[in-house]
A and B are shown apart, each in its own frame.
Chain A
Amino acid sequence: MMQEDNVREERSSCMCNNNDNIREEMITKIKELNFAVIELGLYLDTHPEDEKALCLHRRYAKELKELKDKYQKVYGPLSIYYPCNKWRWLEEPWPWERGNF
Chain B
Amino acid sequence: MPDQKAKAILNDIGTEELAHLEMVGTIVHQLTKGASIEEIEKAGLGAYYTDHGVDVYPQAASGTPFTASYIACKGDVIANLQEDLAAEQKARATYEKLIDLCRDEPDVVDPLRFLREREVVHFQRFGEALRGVQDKLAEKKFYLNDTLVNNNASILSTNDNNCNCK
Interface residue count for B (Cβ, 8 Å)?
A: 17
Q: Count of A-B contacts with CB under 8 A?
A: 33
Interface residue count for A (Cβ, 8 Å)?
A: 12
Residue of A39, A41, A46, A96 near B128 (CB, 8 A) is A46
Q: What are the interface flags for B82-124 relative to A under an 8 Å C-beta threshold, 1 for contact and 0 otherwise?
A: 0000000000000000000000000000000000000001100
Q: Are A38 and B129 in contact (CB under 8 A)?
A: no
Q: A38-B16, A39-B121 are in contact. Are A45 and B9 (CB under 8 A)?
A: yes
Residue of A nearest to B11 (CB): A45
Q: Are A45 and B125 in contact (CB under 8 A)?
A: yes
Q: Which residues of A contact B (CB under 8 A)?
A: 38-39, 41-43, 45-48, 95-96, 98
- Nearest 5 A-B pairs (CB), nearest first? A46-B128, A96-B26, A45-B8, A45-B9, A42-B125
Would you give 7 A-B contacts (Cβ < 8 Å), ordered by A? Answer: A38-B12, A41-B12, A42-B9, A42-B12, A42-B122, A45-B9, A46-B129
